[in-house]
Structure 1
């Protein structure tokens, strides 16, 4: 399931997997990305909660997760 962030710079995907959720946060322009796996429920409620959390992140927080140095989003 693709969900747009409130950002023109970063994108994320939340996918239910066997024992939890897979989250991919990416910066398409540079090709940088980070994948996270969360163990636990993978039902619609969990996907919605994680989607809301991801949408609450700002560009600087996303940049930190993906691996940009502070202030270096390009």
Structure 2
């Protein structure tokens, strides 16, 4: 018989699977400049091959995906 813990674990697994499926997977050559005009740091380009956005824009996009609004 399933209990609250089983239901919670199932929900967590579904949310994790959904989050993993929705993530951005970068590949290819990294951009030197973000669409916002900021330079993408060398460290970020090396850490995330094929990256197209600066850390600020990436953080804002992640917050937007989570439904968090910034003033």
Q: TM-score, normalising length from structure 1? A: 0.26
Quick one: higher RCO (CA 8 Å, sep 6+), 1 or 2?
Answer: 1
Task: Point out the structure with max Rg over C-alpha.
Answer: 2
Q: TM-score, normalising length from structure 2? A: 0.27
Give 1 or 2: higher helix fraction: 2
Give 1 or 2: higher strand fraction: 1
